Structure 1
Amino acid sequence: MADPFILQPRGTESPHGASVPIPPAPLRIDPAFGMLAEHCADDAVTDLFVNGDGGLFLDRGEGAEPVSAWRASEREVRDLAVALVGLGGRHLDDQSPCVDVRLDSGIRVHAVLAPVAASGTAISIRIPRVRAADLDALAALGCFDARMQRWLTSLVHERANLLITGGTGTGKTTLLSALLSEAADSERLVTIEDVAELRPRHPHHVALEARQANLEGAGGISLARLVRESLRMRPDRLIVGECRGEEIRELLTALNTGHDGGAGTLHASGLTDVPARLEALGALAGMDATALARQTVSAFSTVLHLVRDPGGTRRIAQAGVFALADDRLTVEEVRPW
């Protein structure tokens, strides 16, 4: 039986017409991972957490589990964090104690130095277990059924603007990558992320990534600025990988001025919580609730909300559309498939 959360790519056609599975390419583990390398190479592991000298925890799809044999001092954990962040071209020190990076292998590393991390330097590592995932692969793993898959495909082909919501680790980026893979080859996709993770199977994909300021505090490039810059790149589809702050204003403006087929993702615990989350982001961008509501209703066609079941399966639990109620944003659940 297929693993409930590790995706396999669609097979290719053999000369005789039979489908031949494509084995996933081995993950490149840099020597800088040191004692973590063996756990990163474990195909079942999606996340690793190092909590200073307090221990190592692994997530194999059923929650974090401690590794009893792990031993490391705070000095060793700090050195490991600095080395891993350096692999991603960023710096981790007392002036920049919290850093998020994506390595060339696709592994994502987030590190927080002590004493900001009160119990010791904390390292969170996300291992990409998706190999060119598409909608067929997600359907096979229970993310949605065949009727919903046909509806999702039609949304992409009709160039609907989509907002994908859910908690951490529910598969928002994975689903968005799969949806973008359905876009026509003639379209130009521009994705904007704090840490570039979107990897759609598409021949014309341009990825923009925010940049950390240097040691003098200069040179930083925000998501909001990247959204503005992307409008000059003639995108056919403009995508913000995760809305966290003022970039929501730029994204809403773009989606309301002729940029159809766009998308974004948003952290939310439930579909009914999405309006409040958007209002909070709008406030960071200087937008009042009324302006945010009117912009959102006209910007996004559909909201897709993902959950992660106790067994590890990630699935679309709800879909909705935005509406206005006394000039405030609401969301109504729908089942159009």
Structure 2
Amino acid sequence: MPASDARVEDSLAAAEDAGLYSMTDDCPGISRRRRGRGWSYSGTRGATVDDDERARITALVIPPAWTDVCISPVPDGHIQAVGLDAKGRKQYRYHDRWREVRDSTKFHRLSDFGAALPALRNRLDEDLGRRGLPLNKVLATVVRLLDESLIRIGNEEYAEENESFGLTTLQDEHADVGREKVVFEFRGKSGQGQEVVLQDRQLARIVKACQDLPGEDLFQFLDDTGQVADVTSTHVNEYLRALTGATFTAKDIRTWGGTVTAAAHLVELGPADTEAATKKNVLAAIDAAAEKLGNTRSVARSSYVHPRITDAYEDGRLFVCWKKARSSNRFSRSEGAVLDVLRERAA
């Protein structure tokens, strides 16, 4: 199933779980037009909305800068409004109940991803050993870098509009390659400067070979005709699906990495004696994950650190799982403990 189809299916399933009507972003709805200092709203047949509808629409707090606004004609549609922002990007306002369901289920497949990770890493090794610079070898390099560094995957549109970069949009100038070390320095999302240092002779050799190809983009490959072509985020996600047989994406790697980083930090801090100390340690762990991910504390907590890990820290289960966990050549002890926590709570 294509990733876009999977996202639509997940979205509609969440709408059903929330007891809401499943809506698409192109269905007819209530339109918004500027009227003096305010707005006028009219339904699909041109009739103006009543006071209750206006109150519902006002509560959505649709940004004034949005254009081509279309508002759900029913109060219990999972999409409540859609429009284009100042940069022409489609934006949404969702029903509160839908957001609650999505927030409670966004981490649901993380244990499946963790279980699939050792086999994925083995497959990466196979592709990293290929001759030359075919697509799968360069993709394996990008995924290995993503796994080790948690750098955002990036996309061309964002790089062009914001002059900020992710793995697939890095340029040759962003990498300083030594014999056994690669240093990446670049402008990340929200203009944050990023510096990532990796000690890995094999990756350094491949990155240097990519850097030596013609063109400014760093991660390029040689196609079947010997032509140079760029690696894209779409390539990466299709590659992950092919290797795992599941709809995993680059975000799953970052979510796993953020969760493991937080868990390892909590284990290092040890049990807390008071509620205040517990909260302080949890925030410190979230901050450690945020720093590794290049995100804010709020984003790391809501989207990249599984809440079961902080729950397990608070009730002591994290340390029980840590004592039982063992490292292997494809799985760290922290990863083993995280997987045990997620499986225990899911059982």
**Fold in common (TM above 0.5):** no
Q: TM-score, normalised by structure 2?
A: 0.24
Question: Normalized per residue, which structure has more strand?
Answer: 1
Q: TM-score, normalised by structure 1?
A: 0.25
Question: Normalized per residue, which structure has more helix?
Answer: 2
Comparing both chains, which one has the higher relative contact order based on Cα–Cα distances under 8 Å and sequence gaps of 6 or more? 1
Q: Which structure has the larger Rg over C-alpha atoms?
A: 2
